[in-house]
A and B are shown apart, each in its own frame.
Chain A
Amino acid sequence: MFLRPRTLREAVEALAAPGVGILAGGTDFFPALGERKPAGAVLDLTAIPELRGIEIGPERIRIGAAASWTEVIRTPLPRAFDALKAAAREVGSVQIQNRATVAGNLCNASPAADGVPPLLALDAEIELLSVRGERRVPLGSFITGNRKTVRAPGEIVTAILVPRTIEGPSSFLKLGARRYLVISIAMVAAILEADTTGRVGQARVAVGSCSPVARRLAQLERDLVGAGLEEVGARVEPRHLDVLSPIDDLRGTAEYRRDAARTLVARALEAAAGGFLQ
């Protein structure tokens, strides 16, 4: 059965039945099938107008669950979103960016999901809807592990909500072993806000691919407050990365990841600080 509802209400009602698989951009749905054919009911979310688009409000920005990476790239957004846009350009390929949704990237909950570090740094919240009602969960609590989220069966992610609580330049660095179509060995998103004296007023740093779920570096963020913009990179110390728990895999060793993450964090902060000069 292939369900292609036109309204959110129909969608959540359809999803109340057990065993319904959700399809949006298809870029994780189909690879996960491998050689199998889709079995059971499939609920396609791409024909629901309520899920589309990116809304820019004074208090928050709302990324509809069906919005693709290409829409993120093409929508004018505040510079704190430059990291998210940079991540969008690094997702797979243009073909993938055209179909894959930001929300799907979060729901798939890969430790190497490109969207997670920039959205963690943006303090994003996830909006979920089911026949039982709506709820919001901070992204940091939404993904609980490798391929695990708190999304209950019957729930649809309807949007990603980003409060406009930081204003400043941002950056994203992805380290991979080739130029295009690459899964990261490590990646970092950073956002900096300057205070009236031109020093760091607020810093947000998140690292992906170095733990089951991407992590914010809270201690580093605190230590950066008050730092001069020219010294942000130098402020990074190994202890700031203690919250990471990298593993050895095909793409690199744990030791390398920790080492590279520190380099990337420093470079990402310097790149973000460089944004104040522009």
Chain B
Amino acid sequence: MSATRFTLNGGEVEARSAPAARLTQVLREEFGLTGTKVGCDAGDCGACTVLLDGEPVCACLTAVGQVEGARVETIEGLGRASEVTRRLQESFLAHGAAQCGICTPGMLVAATHLLERTPHPTEQEAMDAIGGVLCRCTGYRKIVAAVCAAGTPVPHEETPTAGAAVGARLRRLDGRRKVEGTDIFGADEAPPDCLLLRAVRSPYHRARFRFGDLEGFLKAHPGIHRVLTARDVPGVNCYGVIPPFADQPVFAVEEARFRGEAVAAVVGESAAVEALDLAPFPVEWQELPPLTTMDAALADDAPLIHPGRPQNVLTRGRVVRGDVEAGLAQADLVVESRFETGFIEHAYIEPEAGFARRVGDRIEVQVSTQAPHHHRDDIAKILGISPEAVRILPTAVGGGFGSKLDMSVQPFVALAAWLLRRPVRMVWSRPESMMASTKRHPARMRSRIGATRDGRLVAIDFEADFNTGAYSSWGPTVANRVPVHASGPYYVPHCRARSRAIHTNLVPAGAFRGFGVPQLTLAQEQLMDELAEKLGMDALEFRILNALRPDQPTATGQVLGAGCGIRQCFEALRPQWRKRREAARRFNEQNAAGVLRRGVGLAGMWYGCGNTSMPNPSTMRVGLKANGRIALHQGAVDIGQGSNTVIAQILADALGAPIGCIDLLPADTDITPDCGKTSASRQTFVSGKAAELAGRQLRAEILRQANAGEGARLSFEEGRVTVQEGDHERVLWLESLPLDARGYVLSAEATFDPPTTPLDADGQGDPYAVYGFGAHLAEVEVDLELGTTKLIGLIAAHDVGRAVNPMLIEGQIEGGAAQGLGMALMEEFIPGRGENLHDYLIPSAGDMPKIEFVLIEDAAPVGPFGAKGIGEQALIPTAPAIFNAIYDAAGVRLRRAPATPDRLRAAIKALAR
């Protein structure tokens, strides 16, 4: 086969791969240029954008044979050769435009093309240029800002001095490798002799199956070394994120419970597995009638998807306070409605990927994960070995949002590498990822809310069913968390909230940014608006009147005492609320003959940080090295949200060291203690607190050695720490100190587990130590004739306790709001349909308006420097604020999300009739 000659990043190369191979694969596998990412293999995401003869193209849609004689430039080459790209990289860092980093190379390449021609682009030009690259983390605004600002040199960052890290708009500590395209994600690395694994998945929602001649299949396919099925699992063929509910097999046995469930896997040489057509794989399917709706699953005669779970109910949640019927009877006004939401796909741009290798009697799994220690324990059970024999090496995570808390490739590669004693790799395709990964729970909710004539909330009666799909995943968490949050951030004396998680033969629903609270809030905050309207009250003043005070009990009977900033969030919106409502009214008057209507809507939220009434400790280890630098064993996996930076900021100030002397160690389970899962908005709060404690402990040890008091100043230099207290100065010569087993002269380890109490049968107790609060104001423009909605403005007020890094917090808010926008207007996953990123739509760069921020710092006494979580909080109020704004604009209320143009237009027509 002839080689393809072309110019790659300025050098002449010859590609040996087949000329019909995708350019992405050739760049990544043959030339090792993994800065070009694969997100969809269909031109839908733009993560693989490269310049071909100077023009941006998707490398996944280009055959390498087609670039014969042409010039190809990737992020690696542009970063070296192009001044424009280098300025963009700096600008991305300075603006916080890279979060997880998976879309960043594609964004930079696309923006390079623009800036080479237009050094000072407008916002519109920047959006047009990056419009072909999807991002799921940032909400695009910081990317657009970074592109627009890249024409002028970025000022050098001043690193904060000791004690000034918390509160600084610091660039990401792991940002450089993200903008250079050198960060290693799940699919970016594999040992050279690695085998490849592909799963055989059920094409039916429910089917019995029988294998045919597997031996014959193996013999007929040279290069395929093994077929794995449930019989090959040496330990337990079962795993799950909540051990008492674990129910998911690595490979289904006899019956597949959802479309996309794995029943077998083939393992072999990469080329053989890639070329393999799985259609003739010897498995015989017998399709069975599936339970695809909650009603069907709840029917008396429905078959049980899991024996021992009657009526297909996985779990129930319940919070009862006061007497809800009496409360509703007292109310002068009661509003009631039903609401519905569908499955929502996480749509991170990095599909699940990783590899495993056996090292003696241990197994190492390098993978994109949000929960390394938990996955270590589950793999140990599956392989029948001790957890210590499993090592998880987390890669950079190209977006998680909750779904990478569940295992994906891990059990397959671990099992295959264990049995075959060869490294084995698995990379999910986009359809595979969408078919088999967890989703946001579809919800069916009914709610009644009552208030007295003077505008005080008296009672809430809320019921919800969540479609949890075929396996438990995070269904119990959703069912438990939702009732706790049913009152919203308000004081409600009488509250009854009940929920169920119900199994169906659909894809498992799991964790997705908010664990059911976004769905709940979509219902409750619309009813709050209805109540206010019926009471003749202003929607904002009504909320302020009822906002939970620090001395009032929540629906679980908890009195927060401090760190209860909801009222401030609402009050911060007051001036703009009035101004923008007036502006919308004026617009609508002036355009009364036209088809566009503007509206403004509000929503409030609260969200408990950390696990619900369950232990969720984090342990942080820090070590002082003989060279005077600090090693931080950073176990709080950074999935783009910024824990690598935030945890270091907290540590720096707790220790009294400049952040520049901290070295980050990864969340490798062999070297770094368990910081729990990156979920439930807990890392800044829980792991951050552990880092603060560890920092203070190490500081105390240094002071003790120097015989100095708490107020002393430390300076860390090569080989020594100088301790200065008043006029006294003492030098700790580090090389004279003995090294511990880890090579540190001094070290500290601290664990923090948030103080919570169990909930009783009525859901009474203290489920969370800290709550985050927030409120969004959304401004929309509705086209009455087409039913389309454009979000034209958003103001986000959030009580974050203490803004450890305001730039990263803004990034969380913008990214959360973009997901909220998607939830409100376009996102719904229908299992079996649209398993790609052109049928399943997430917001693109042109859909996000400018966002204004108000950060409220009502410190949570238990949090590190008062800080609370923000990750999930940011998304929760966006969709209900948009729905309320749509009502304000068009006079229609949609009870079902998303508000797609056809649904909205139908409602507008119905109103006119």
A44 neighbours in B (Cβ, 8 Å) = 63, 65-66
Taking A99-B58, A180-B132, A263-B786 as contacts, is the C-beta distance between A252 and B22 under 8 angstroms?
Answer: no
A79 on interface, CB distance cutoff 8 Å: no
Is the beta-carbon distance between A252 and B902 smaller than 8 angstroms? yes
In the complex, per-residue mask of B30-65: 1 if CB is within 8 Å of any chain A CB, else 0: 000000000001111010010010011110111101
Interface residues of B in 886-913 (CB under 8 A from A): 900-902, 905-906, 909
Of the residues A25, A30, A47, A178, contact of B843 by C-beta under 8 Å: A178
Taking A94-B110, A178-B826, A181-B132 as contacts, is the C-beta distance between A31 and B41 under 8 angstroms?
Answer: yes
Is the beta-carbon distance between A180 and B902 smaller than 8 angstroms? no
Stretch in B718-726, B757-765, B830-838 touching the partner:
B830-838
A253 on interface, CB distance cutoff 8 Å: yes
B617 on interface, CB distance cutoff 8 Å: no
B44 neighbours in A (Cβ, 8 Å) = 181
B565 vs chain A, min Cβ distance (A): 34
Is the beta-carbon distance between B902 and A178 smaller than 8 angstroms? no
Is the beta-carbon distance between B60 and A181 smaller than 8 angstroms? no
A250 on interface, CB distance cutoff 8 Å: yes
Of the residues B66, B785, B786, contact of A46 by C-beta under 8 Å: B66
In the bound assembly, the distance between CA atoms of A144 and B784 in angstroms comes to 35
Taking A2-B19, A94-B129 as contacts, is the C-beta distance between A30 and B60 under 8 angstroms?
Answer: yes
A93 neighbours in B (Cβ, 8 Å) = 43, 46, 131-133
B189 neighbours in A (Cβ, 8 Å) = none
In the bound assembly, the distance between CA atoms of A53 and B18 in angstroms comes to 28
A98 on interface, CB distance cutoff 8 Å: yes
Q: Nearest chain-A residue to B906 (Cβ)?
A: A256
A131 neighbours in B (Cβ, 8 Å) = none
Interface size in chain B (residues, C-beta < 8 A): 62
In the bound assembly, the distance between CA atoms of A178 and B847 in angstroms comes to 6
In the bound assembly, the distance between CA atoms of A38 and B23 in angstroms comes to 13
Interface residues of A in 170-218 (CB under 8 A from B): 175, 177-183, 185
B66 neighbours in A (Cβ, 8 Å) = 4, 23, 26, 44, 46-47
Q: Nearest chain-B residue to A262 (Cβ)?
A: B785
Is the beta-carbon distance between B57 and A99 smaller than 8 angstroms? yes
In the complex, per-residue mask of A251-268: 1 if CB is within 8 Å of any chain B CB, else 0: 111011101100110000
Is the beta-carbon distance between B786 and A260 smaller than 8 angstroms? yes
B429 on interface, CB distance cutoff 8 Å: yes
A35 on interface, CB distance cutoff 8 Å: yes
Of the residues A30, A92, A179, A251, contact of B845 by C-beta under 8 Å: A179
In the bound assembly, the distance between CA atoms of A180 and B846 in angstroms comes to 7
Taking A44-B63, A179-B845 as contacts, is the C-beta distance between A250 and B833 under 8 angstroms?
Answer: yes
Taking A2-B18, A93-B46 as contacts, is the C-beta distance between A30 and B61 under 8 angstroms?
Answer: yes
Of the residues A95, A181, A251, A259, contact of B905 by C-beta under 8 Å: A259
Is the beta-carbon distance between A178 and B841 smaller than 8 angstroms? yes
A101 on interface, CB distance cutoff 8 Å: no
Is the beta-carbon distance between B42 and A31 smaller than 8 angstroms? yes
A99 neighbours in B (Cβ, 8 Å) = 57-58, 61-62
Is the beta-carbon distance between B61 and A26 smaller than 8 angstroms? yes
A38 vs chain B, min Cβ distance (A): 4
Is the beta-carbon distance between B131 and A94 smaller than 8 angstroms? yes
In the complex, per-residue mask of A77-91: 1 if CB is within 8 Å of any chain B CB, else 0: 000000000000000
Is the beta-carbon distance between A4 and B785 smaller than 8 angstroms? no
Interface residues of A in 213-249 (CB under 8 A from B): none
Is the beta-carbon distance between B132 and A94 smaller than 8 angstroms? yes
In the bound assembly, the distance between CA atoms of A178 and B846 in angstroms comes to 8
In the bound assembly, the distance between CA atoms of A259 and B912 in angstroms comes to 15
Q: Nearest chain-B residue to A177 (Cβ)?
A: B826
Is the beta-carbon distance between A181 and B788 smaller than 8 angstroms? no
Taking A30-B61, A263-B785 as contacts, is the C-beta distance between A36 and B277 under 8 angstroms?
Answer: yes
In the complex, per-residue mask of A32-63: 1 if CB is within 8 Å of any chain B CB, else 0: 00111110001010110000000000000000
Is the beta-carbon distance between B844 and A35 smaller than 8 angstroms? no
Is the beta-carbon distance between A31 and B786 smaller than 8 angstroms? no
In the complex, per-residue mask of B418-431: 1 if CB is within 8 Å of any chain A CB, else 0: 00000000000101
B68 neighbours in A (Cβ, 8 Å) = 4, 47
B140 vs chain A, min Cβ distance (A): 10
In the bound assembly, the distance between CA atoms of A257 and B901 in angstroms comes to 10
Taking A27-B43, A37-B274 as contacts, is the C-beta distance between A98 and B57 under 8 angstroms?
Answer: yes
B57 neighbours in A (Cβ, 8 Å) = 95, 98-99
A27 vs chain B, min Cβ distance (A): 5
B825 on interface, CB distance cutoff 8 Å: yes
A8 neighbours in B (Cβ, 8 Å) = none
In the bound assembly, the distance between CA atoms of A38 and B62 in angstroms comes to 12
In the bound assembly, the distance between CA atoms of A272 and B847 in angstroms comes to 26
B20 neighbours in A (Cβ, 8 Å) = 2, 23, 37-38, 42
B255 on interface, CB distance cutoff 8 Å: no
A137 on interface, CB distance cutoff 8 Å: no
Q: Nearest chain-A residue to B59 (Cβ)?
A: A95
In the bound assembly, the distance between CA atoms of A177 and B788 in angstroms comes to 8
B43 neighbours in A (Cβ, 8 Å) = 27, 30-31, 92-93, 95-96
In the bound assembly, the distance between CA atoms of A25 and B909 in angstroms comes to 42
B37 vs chain A, min Cβ distance (A): 13
In the bound assembly, the distance between CA atoms of A29 and B42 in angstroms comes to 9
Is the beta-carbon distance between B56 and A95 smaller than 8 angstroms? yes
B332 on interface, CB distance cutoff 8 Å: no
A130 on interface, CB distance cutoff 8 Å: no
A256 neighbours in B (Cβ, 8 Å) = 787, 901-902, 905-906
A98 neighbours in B (Cβ, 8 Å) = 52, 55-57
In the bound assembly, the distance between CA atoms of A235 and B905 in angstroms comes to 22
A105 on interface, CB distance cutoff 8 Å: no
B881 vs chain A, min Cβ distance (A): 19
B128 on interface, CB distance cutoff 8 Å: yes
B134 on interface, CB distance cutoff 8 Å: yes
B433 vs chain A, min Cβ distance (A): 12
A158 on interface, CB distance cutoff 8 Å: no
In the bound assembly, the distance between CA atoms of A185 and B783 in angstroms comes to 15
B110 neighbours in A (Cβ, 8 Å) = 94-95
Of the residues B49, B60, B429, contact of A35 by C-beta under 8 Å: B429
In the complex, per-residue mask of A58-81: 1 if CB is within 8 Å of any chain B CB, else 0: 000000000000100000000000
B62 neighbours in A (Cβ, 8 Å) = 26, 99
Interface centre among A29, A179, A259, A263 (most CB of B within 10 A): A179
Q: Nearest chain-A residue to B2 (Cβ)?
A: A2
Is the beta-carbon distance between B900 and A177 smaller than 8 angstroms? yes
B275 on interface, CB distance cutoff 8 Å: yes
In the bound assembly, the distance between CA atoms of A27 and B40 in angstroms comes to 12
Of the residues B21, B841, B905, contact of A182 by C-beta under 8 Å: B841
Is the beta-carbon distance between A260 and B905 smaller than 8 angstroms? yes
A237 vs chain B, min Cβ distance (A): 15
Is the beta-carbon distance between B42 and A179 smaller than 8 angstroms? no
Is the beta-carbon distance between B901 and A175 smaller than 8 angstroms? yes
B551 on interface, CB distance cutoff 8 Å: no
B6 vs chain A, min Cβ distance (A): 13
In the bound assembly, the distance between CA atoms of A221 and B843 in angstroms comes to 37
In the bound assembly, the distance between CA atoms of A179 and B58 in angstroms comes to 19
Q: Nearest chain-A residue to B904 (Cβ)?
A: A256
B825 neighbours in A (Cβ, 8 Å) = 177
In the bound assembly, the distance between CA atoms of A185 and B20 in angstroms comes to 33
Q: Nearest chain-A residue to B109 (Cβ)?
A: A95
Is the beta-carbon distance between A250 and B830 smaller than 8 angstroms? yes
Supply 18 further A-B pairs (C-beta < 8 A) apart from A181-B131, A181-B132: A2-B19, A2-B63, A4-B68, A27-B58, A34-B429, A37-B21, A70-B55, A94-B129, A95-B49, A96-B43, A96-B58, A96-B61, A99-B61, A177-B901, A179-B131, A181-B134, A182-B841, A252-B902
What are 11 A-B pairs at a CB distance below 8 A?
A30-B22, A31-B42, A35-B429, A37-B18, A38-B20, A95-B43, A95-B57, A175-B901, A177-B826, A177-B900, A260-B786
Interface residues of A (CB under 8 A from B): 2, 4, 23, 25-27, 29-31, 34-38, 42, 44, 46-47, 70, 92-96, 98-99, 175, 177-183, 185, 250-253, 255-257, 259-260, 263-264
Nearest 7 A/B pairs, CB to CB = A93-B132, A179-B846, A180-B131, A256-B902, A2-B19, A180-B844, A31-B42
